A and B are shown apart, each in its own frame.
Chain A
Amino acid sequence: MTAIQETLAPVAIDHADHHHEHPSWLAHHFDDAEQQYDSGKLGMWLFLVTEVLFFSGMFCAYALYRNRNPEVFEFCSSFLNEKLGAINTGVLLFSSLTMAWAVRAAQLRQHQLLVGMLGATLGCAAIFLGVKAVEYSHKMEIGLLPGKLYVAQLDGVHGPHKGYLEFICTIPAICTALCAAYAIYAFATKSLFHQRVAGPMLVAGLCFFGGVGLGQYLEAQEEASKGHGGHGGHQEHHAMVEGHVEHGSHEHAAASESAHTAENKTASEMAANASIAMGGSPDVYIAPNELRTPNADVNQRSMAGLFFSIYYCMTGVHAIHIIGGMIVITWLIVKAARQEFHEQYFGPVDNVGLYWHLVDFIWIYLFPLLYLIT
């Protein structure tokens, strides 16, 4: 830019001005560093507003569905591993701490500490995703899938599908391998800059698999404490519905359930229940009070399946935000390794920090709303 200006207009520009040429970190349409910082930050807050409104659509779906079918949430929440959710909350809170600390380090020109804090944030994000990968794969294996893919629990369909975890882990494994190759290159060439970038990236890659290990350990512990075949604290539900389920799929279960409860009801209500049980459209579903009360028909696609649609949608979109955050934090690490930040120019760290705290903010609500329903 400077070169072009000099060649195009060597006469027009007063040469005295070149002493006041804007520094590389100040975009030249801003008067000064503070104006640049404030503009960037206002833009970031506006973006966060769109994010809040975007997530509120999903929270609205959640609120409506829970309002209508509280028993579905009680039933399905028992399949979510509270311990893993709590650990992920802690990990995300810690990453928020390191991110806020990174902003401080950028403002105080603590370049090494800044790279370290950004690296810690990246690592925590990777642990979070690793634990999430275990949660997802475990649910997929036992048929806790969204919508019509939902396989009713309690009827012995356990683990027909394996290998989801390996599948999910392929991309992180490739990324980690690339980071390792980059780290080897960095140490071979003895480039301090590359070492400072490659180090945190490799650690983050390994953290993902650390998270996977942690998740698997806790999931196995949970499994063991609940006894074989039991998932979550709904043993009493097993007992209650067992009689209807003995001989077959969940369709039979629901059909016999509805036939059983509808004895003293009008034919039309019974017929409507039957049509649902036969896989009819959930649009015509009616929920007489007898069926809405304890554990009668929650374990089917039109009920639990919808919960898991909401669960995967909310946590999945949140996880996508984590991945996006990891990408921009990696960009920050590159800039931090070049020692670009100082008290006049820390906007990028601050704004990515704002984004990261918003992701944490969303999880603060998701955790109790999904995992902690009793």
Chain B
Amino acid sequence: MAHTTTSDHNHEAHANHGHHDSQHGGHHDHGFSHPMPIWMLLSVFFALLFLTVLTVFQSQFDLGNAEIFASLTIATIKAALVILFFMHLLWDKPLNAIVILGSLIFVALFLGFTLMDAEGYRENLIYNSTIEASQPVDPAAQTAMAPGVPAAVAP
């Protein structure tokens, strides 16, 4: 019962809080809560639906390399709508916004650096694996390389 040991302190705190609850965030009746208007919820929803239809429509055209950018741009707009309105980050404490944006920055670093690396090594990979792969396939070479038998002794 760790609670009982600190109960005195807490009771002091509670003695204060009851009186000025209404002062917190309180320019309206809902205390610190921020109920979103229904029209805003609905318009965000229909915007998201519209963008979904748009991305399906866009995928029917062959845009080549631009395709991935087009679909990711639309997806990012949708994601921004979800985060800013449905997750009400727009009205949230700045700390929460910093936390989530920080994670997105790290994701960008993660993906960016990995892809840079992949590009940088591609040619080497193909070259090396060609050499390695060619060795065990030659049947004569395979028998000669039997374990424990020196190549010179093999018939």
Chain A positions within 8 Å of B, measured between CB atoms, are 1, 4-5, 8-9, 12-14, 17, 20-22, 28-29, 31-34, 37-38, 41-42, 45-46, 48-49, 52-53, 56, 59-60, 63-64, 67-68, 82, 86, 89-90, 93-94, 96-97, 99-101, 103-104, 107-108, 267-269, 271-272, 274-275, 283-287, 343-344, 346, 353-354, 357-358, 360-361, 364-365, 367-369, 372-374
**Given A100-B44, A107-B30, 4 other A-B contacts at CB below 8 A?**
A45-B99, A67-B115, A275-B137, A286-B126
Residues of B within 8 A of A41 (CB): 92-93, 96
Residues of A within 8 A of B29 (CB): 343
Main secondary structure of the interface of B (DSSP, over half): helix
Q: Is B56 an interface residue when CB atoms closer than 8 A count as contact?
A: yes
Known contacts A13-B7, A93-B52, A286-B129; decide if A64 and B45 are in contact (CB<8 Å).
no
Q: Is B143 an interface residue when CB atoms closer than 8 A count as contact?
A: no
Known contacts A104-B38, A365-B75; decide if A374 and B62 are in contact (CB<8 Å).
yes
**B19, chain A: closest CB distance, angstroms:** 9
Chain B interface residue number, banded: 35 or more
**B54, chain A: closest CB distance, angstroms:** 11
Q: Is the CB of A4 within 8 A of B103?
A: no
Pick the 9 closest A-B CB pairs, nearest first. Answer: A268-B134, A272-B133, A372-B59, A271-B137, A368-B71, A49-B103, A284-B133, A107-B33, A97-B45
**B31, chain A: closest CB distance, angstroms:** 5
Residues of A within 8 A of B6 (CB): 29
Chain B positions within 8 Å of A, measured between CB atoms, are 1, 3-4, 6-8, 10-11, 13-18, 21, 24-25, 29-36, 38, 41-42, 44-45, 48-49, 52, 55-56, 59-62, 67, 71-72, 74-75, 78-79, 82-83, 85-87, 92-93, 95-96, 99-100, 102-104, 106-107, 110-111, 114-115, 118-119, 122, 126, 129-134, 136-138
